[in-house]
Amino acid sequence: MPEHTAASRLRLSGLCFFLQVLNILLFAVFVRYSPESSPGQCPPQLNCSQRNQDSGFQQPRFQDVHIQVLLSFGLLVAFLSRYGPGSAVISILIIAFAIQWAVLIQGFFYFFLNGKIYVGAQSMVSADFCTTAVLISTGAVLGRANPVQMLLLALLEVTLCTLNEYILLSLMGVSDSGRSLTVHTFGAYFGLMVSRVLYQPHKDKRKREKRQDMGHQTDVFAVIGTIYLWIFWPSFTSATTVHDNANNWAVLNTYFSLVASTVATFILSPVLYEESTPRMVQIQDATLAGMAVMGMAGEMLVTPFGALIAGFLVGLISPLGFRFFTPVLHSRLKIQDTCGVHNIHGLPGILGALLGTLLTLMATADTYGDRLELVFPLVAQGSRTVTDQVLIQLGALPLTLLLATLGGWLTGSVLKTKVLRCSPDAQYEENTVFSEVAEEGCDPRASEKELGISTVV
């Protein structure tokens, strides 16, 4: 059906055109450079007061954030490595759109003053975080959503993710600097819910046989992705912490957590699978999980051995989830999780939030010193007790899960409407670039287990 294909090609083209022109118009009306030199940079509704109070150090501080924007972006794009060169094309499109859209939406929530959004380095960091959540959700539906659906998913998720973040960080005063909740947990469960709504039982059974010869390619990307993560993620985790001692803790904790979770993979993999060493893509998963668990707790008093234990446990839980939980997810709950985001981001994010809540109990001036002002400003100022803070941190978890699943259900329902529904299979039959999406980058064994297929000819 070449007419059909041409029509669908032009639909993506047209949607991109429409969205880009919309972005340009909205930017023209609303977005201005942030006047950093003036003291009114930070709008009063954002609790960034403690971050700028050291005005003498503002200059290096900005430069610090600026480098971290660039570096943390490396992380974002490292997700691509996971999904292979075919899917990278789609991911780049999502990133390019989501960053613009996130600057706008986050601007309305955080940087809106006198009818204008003032963008600066901080906006770019926030936009990067938000785009990460979208990329995580994408991993759950990869291969079962066409590019048009992906773009609309990004459009809706950026909005809902920002809403969740605004409620948690600004209204409730939750401390979640490395975004265990607002990025990892939200992104994973949002994506899983979308995957549930888009579920089509008799799909994806064909083109599995092509996968075998992709194995080596996948390993190359997994090596590169793991390298990026080891280099850049500690920056990512600490991007929004102030560059004081707290920053230091966040980097050290993340570092210790990831080495422990990597070793844990070597312990479980020979037991679960009949291979002596894990595949590279499993190590990348362990790296991601070990870092996701340090999201909220990173800047808190984890202590070095606490970080080792947390990383070790999450490094054991993640492969167990791939082996035992993903098949159950698929067969019982009808949720296909293409890249296993539930094991890599969902579970570690929840564990990270619980760990962070636990560590909030210890947030006293004795243990934290000056750091208390930075990690829990409301507690340090005396306007909130430690118990209140613990309850709020704890309450943020079910709230995030609720918003993520509701948002995912809503988004999935929109994506399922007839005009968008034509699946990638029917539509891009001969398009090898897109059909590679489902084949590469995701752990082959996990997907096979998940789909209950070993070799289909």
Among residues 190 and 434, whose Cβ is nearest to a copy of itself? Answer: 434
Task: Give, as ranges, the residues between 327 and 366 that touch a copy of itself (CB under 8 A).
Answer: none
Count, in order, helices (H) and strands (E) of the chain: 21, 3
Q: Which of 190, 322, 368, 434 binds a copy of itself (CB under 8 A)?
A: 434
Hey, which residues does 112 pair with through a beta bridge?
A: 117
Q: Are 218 and 440 in contact (CB under 8 A)?
A: yes
DSSP string, 278-298: --HHHHHHHHHHHHHTTTTGG
From candidates 1, 20, 209, 421, binder to a copy of itself by CB under 8 A? 20
347-360 vs 386-415: helix crossing angle, rounded to 10: 160
**Total residues at interface with a copy of itself (CB under 8 A):** 114
User: Phi, psi at residue 392, to the nearest 5°?
Assistant: -70, -40
Q: Determine, following the binding rule CB under 8 A, whether residue 294 of this chain makes contact with a copy of itself.
A: no
CB-count burial class (<10 Å; 0-12, 13-18, 19+) for 45: middle
Whole-angstrom Cα distance, residue 410 to residue 425?
24
**Widest distance between CA atoms in the chain:** 71
Helix (H) or strand (E) holding 113: strand 112-113
Nearer to a copy of itself, 57 or 409 (CB): 57
92 binds a copy of itself per the rule CB under 8 A: yes
In the bound state with a copy of itself, the residue whose beta carbon lies nearer, of 170 and 217, is: 217
Give the residue from 216, 176, 185 showing the smallest Cα distance to 393: 176
Q: How far is the CB of 408 from a copy of itself (least distance, A)?
A: 25
DSSP 336-351: --TT-HIIIIIHHHHH
- List Cα–Cα distances, 450 to 160, 332, 335, 339, 453, in angstroms: 29, 11, 10, 10, 8
Q: Which of 305, 361, 417, 421 binds a copy of itself (CB under 8 A)?
A: 305
Q: Which of 441, 422, 399 is nearest to 189 (CA)?
A: 399
With respect to a copy of itself, which residue has the nearer C-beta, 72 or 164?
72
Regarding 22 and contact with a copy of itself (CB under 8 A), the answer is no
Which window, 118-126, 291-299, 325-333, 407-415, contacts a copy of itself (CB under 8 A)? Answer: 118-126
* For a copy of itself, the closer CB: 12 or 394: 12
Nearer to a copy of itself, 310 or 415 (CB): 310
CA distances (Å), origin 13, targets 107, 335, 368, 389: 27, 30, 53, 48
Tell me if 10 contacts a copy of itself by CB under 8 A.
yes
Segment near a copy of itself (CB under 8 A), from 133-141, 187-195, 241-249, 336-344?
241-249
Considering beta carbons, is residue 147 or 178 the nearer one to a copy of itself? 147
Q: Is 19 in the site for a copy of itself (CB under 8 A)?
A: yes
| Stretch touching a copy of itself by CB under 8 A, among 120-128, 173-181, 340-348, 397-405 | 120-128
Of 9-17, 40-48, 152-160, 335-343, the window that binds a copy of itself (rule: CB under 8 A) is 9-17
Footprint of a copy of itself on 306-325 (CB under 8 A): 308-309, 312
Neighbours of 127 (CB within 10 A): 26
Query: What are the phi and psi torsion angles at 116 (to 5°)?
Result: -125, 150
Subset of 370-429 contacting a copy of itself (CB under 8 A)? 370, 427-428
Tell whether residue 99 is a contact of a copy of itself (CB under 8 A): yes
Residue 209 to residue 131: CA distance in whole angstroms: 33
**How many Å apart are CA 389 and CA 226, to the nearest integer?**
35
Restricted to residues 161-200, the positions that interact with a copy of itself (CB under 8 A) are none
> Which one of residues 1, 4, 24, 402 is an interface residue with a copy of itself (CB under 8 A)?
24
String of contacts with a copy of itself for each residue 200-239, x by CB under 8 A: ----------------xx-xxxxxx-xxx-xxx-xx----
- From the list 56-64, 188-196, 331-339, 388-396, the region that binds a copy of itself by CB under 8 A is 56-64
Q: Which is nearer to a copy of itself, 170 or 303 (CB)?
A: 303
Residues 124-143 that bind a copy of itself (CB under 8 A): 124
Which residues ranging from 245 to 284 are in contact with a copy of itself (CB under 8 A)? 245, 247-249, 251-252, 255-256, 258-260, 262-264, 266-271, 274-280, 283
Residues in the chain: 457
Block residue for tokens 């899960």: 401
Contact (Cβ atoms closer than 8 angstroms) between residue 131 and residue 95: yes
